[in-house]
Amino acid sequence: MRKCKPHEITKCVLADNWDKLRQLANLLPGWVFRGQREMQWRLEPTLERFMKNLRGEYSATEVEQHILTQFRRRAPTYLNDLPMYNDTIGWLALVQHYGGPTRLLDFTKSIYVAAFFALAEQSTSSHAVIWAVNDRVIRGTVESILQMPNGKPVSCADEFEAGELMNSTATAEFDGYAACAGAPYYSSARLAIQQGLFLFSLNMQYTLEENLYGMFGVNVEDVYPANLVGWFRDPFDEHLLSKLQRTPIIKIVIPAKERVEVLRDLKRMNITYETLFPGIEGLGRSLNHELIELQKADEPQDCPS
């Protein structure tokens, strides 16, 4: 595998208005996205954050197996519709859904859903961010890296085959880096509504970012901080846009001051807490954004000339 330079694998761009975000949406079909309200947050699943406190006493694989064992044993007390026992990604998706630590990181096929999650809550920094991952390139890279026990390449043609790949490597130990985006074959209502899937490591000896960048021969510490703190001031000329399409990972930075305007436009597209979270939970969350409508009502109106 050719060792790449960090700027070949990841770029940071500034979408400082709604029109530029729409332009990126048209530019990146087939990509997957994650919205985060703080620009400095990294791609870090909950299990990785949990592992930092264990000080090397257990491996991530051992901790995950403990979580799965406990959840499989006790979930039937509360739930009737459960995955098959060996459907690892299906069980981890349930753990994730109910707030447990997993190696899964929530992504979506919709840049607009990602924009909502990036801006739904007030940021403490000046910018929110949308991570964009070229899913087709990532899956193709995984196919070129991993092999079946019989020596044949793995198949990772879509998100469901990627999910099956997690099932087949759940307890496997292999050399090298690998990560991809996948989903369980049987989806929850919330996952379907949010056009959701998960980015995850296939080699739990390394972090998600180490796996993601390592597949391209890039050390994650060479990516941070210089390459992803700055951004192109005007990335929307034709030459640079063509470069973005060939880049596996893009960090789209959105000024926090655009929050109210973007959320209003997303509401016109029917992207709200109430539509993204089925049931009473979505209704309750949506009440937070009633304040945005009150803000709008209180804005001074232009006097007629």
Tens-digit pLDDT profile for residues 14-24: 888 888 898 88
Is 280 a domain residue?
no
pLDDT at 187: 83
pLDDT at 299: 53
DSSP notation for 204-223: TTS-HHHHHHHTTT--HHHH
pLDDT at 198: 98
pLDDT at 139: 94
Is 299 a domain residue?
no
Is 131 a domain residue?
yes
Rounded to whole angstroms, the Cα distance separating 15 from 86 reads: 42
pLDDT at 304: 45
pLDDT at 284: 75
Is 300 a domain residue?
no
Note down the domain range covering 221: 6-257
pLDDT at 229: 44
pLDDT at 2: 57
Is 181 a domain residue?
yes
251 three-state secondary structure:
strand
Q: 2: Cβ–Cβ under 8 A, 6 or more apart, which residues?
A: 217
DSSP notation for 121-159: S--SSSEEEEEEE-HHHHHHHHHHH-B-TTSPBP---SH
Q: 76: Cβ–Cβ under 8 A, 6 or more apart, which residues?
A: 82
pLDDT at 161: 93
Is 265 a domain residue?
no
Is 276 a domain residue?
no
Q: How many domains does the chain have?
A: 1
Is 304 a domain residue?
no
Question: Which residue ranges in the chain fall short of pLDDT 70?
Answer: 1-2, 149, 171-174, 225-235, 290-305
